[in-house]
């Protein structure tokens, strides 16, 4: 796996982005970025175990709960760093079932060396400490 995925290609080619830790509260960064993701034409899948719907989309308690026929291209992570490795494990388990390797994107301040190492070992591209919204606006 390349150590630095081509962000422009990844953002241009993606169709569906799962937002792990998506908040229903409009003032939260994850909510604002999820809304942006929808506005620019992606399908946004909110991952939050405490809500059934966010921004008009069905919310799932985990990546594992998203039906396998839903193709997830990017997993945008808004969890504390100590939980990111578990998100990567879930993405790898899902990839084993679906045959699709999503790009793991950790927002600013969310990076985990353990998560990066797990992603690399599992063949999942990993983007650390970057804002998907800022990069999309600049690159696509």
pTM: 0.94
Q: Per-residue pLDDT tens for 22-44? A: 999 989 999 999 999 999 999 99
For the chain, how many residues are written? 140
* Cβ contact 44:37 at 8 Å: yes
- Residues β-bridged to residue 18: 45, 75
- pLDDT tier for residue 49 given thresholds of 50, 70 and 90: very high
Q: Is pLDDT of 81 > 50?
A: yes
* Residue 7 vs residues 1, 21, 81, 118, 127: alpha-carbon distances, Å: 14, 22, 21, 20, 9
CATH of 7-139 among 3.40.190.10, 1.10.150.120, 3.40.50.720, 3.90.70.10: 3.40.50.720
Q: Per-residue pLDDT tens for 99-135? A: 999 999 999 998 899 999 999 999 999 999 999 999 9
Q: In this structure, what token pair is assigned to residue 96? A: 């084993």
């Amino acid at each position: 796996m390349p150590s630095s995925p081509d962000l422009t290609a990844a953002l241009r080619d993606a169709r569906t982005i799962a937002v792990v830790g998506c908040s229903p509260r409009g003032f939260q960064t994850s909510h604002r970025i999820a809304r942006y993701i929808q506005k620019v034409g992606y399908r946004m899948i909110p991952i939050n175990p405490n809500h059934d719907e966010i921004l008009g989309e069905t919310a799932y308690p985990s990546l594992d709960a998203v039906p396998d026929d839903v193709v997830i291209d990017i997993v945008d992570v808004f969890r504390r760093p100590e939980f990111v490795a578990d998100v990567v494990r879930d993405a790898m388990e899902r990839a084993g079932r679906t045959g699709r390797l999503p790009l793991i994107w950790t927002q600013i301040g969310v990076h985990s060396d353990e998560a990066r190492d797990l992603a690399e070992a599992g063949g999942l591209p990993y983007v650390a400490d970057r804002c998907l919204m800022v990069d999309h606006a600049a690159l696509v």
